[in-house]
Amino acid sequence: MEPILFVITGPSGAGKGSVMRRLLASAPHLKKVVTYTTRTPRAGEEDGFDYRFITADVFLRKVQSGEIFEYEQVYHDHYYGSPRDLFEGTYDGLIELDYRGYQKYRARHGRVVSIFLLPPNLEELKQRILRRSEVENLEARLRNAVEQLRHADEYDYVVKNDDLKTCTARVAALVEAERLRRQGQHDLQAIMRAVARDAVGGEPS
């Protein structure tokens, strides 16, 4: 069956990383697609899981070679980019993208499911950003948050993250529902192929 790419988007501070960590711990056959950034790791972030932390020179070489499929300088300082190769074996992919990256992958891949995470409100979003270690670009992050929100209605699902446990459970339910839909379509196609074979071969005796 064709793997599904699950795209998670939301403004900075919406809790994307926390939801994805919990989801990956509980959802079988789901692998995170690790994206690239030129910023330094925050406290608690893990290279190779949260991001691949690389220098700007290395980043731009990967862009030139095609290893990085799409990228943005989101806050007008550091680069963020996503790999061309997404899937490992039979696993579905889980990737964090902004709306521009989502649009590019949606055009490239046949089975993309998009989930937009909402903060409880803009004031809470601002407080979450302020609690982070890197806040010198607060105004840029707030402007980007509003820009991201303007594109939320382009997504398959919108989930508010006002409680991490509840939000993760809802996202996990969406992942399972999409997998069940894929399985149902696969089973239907198998039966219809059998029907077509029987029609060609005539009624069984």
Residues in the chain: 205
Chain-centroid distance of CA 125 in Å reads 20
Q: What are the extents of the domains in the chain?
A: 5-33+86-201
Tens-digit pLDDT string for the chain (205 aa):
889 999 999 988 889 989 999 999 998 889 999 999 999 998 888 999 989 999 999 999 999 999 999 998 876 688 999 998 887 778 999 999 999 999 988 888 778 999 999 988 888 877 877 776 455 677 777 888 889 999 999 999 999 999 999 999 999 999 999 999 999 999 999 999 999 988 886 655 4
pLDDT of 205 reads 45
- 8 A C-beta contact, residue 69 and residue 56: no
- Residue 103 per-residue DSSP state: H
pLDDT of 22 reads 95
Give pTM, 2 decimals.
Answer: 0.84
Please state which CATH number belongs to domain 5-33+86-201.
Answer: 3.40.50.300
Calculated CA dihedral for residues 94, 98, 104, 105, nearest 10 degrees: 10
Going by C-alpha positions, the residue among 192, 116, 203, 187 that lies closest to residue 154 is: 116
Neighbours of 47 (CB within 10 A): 11
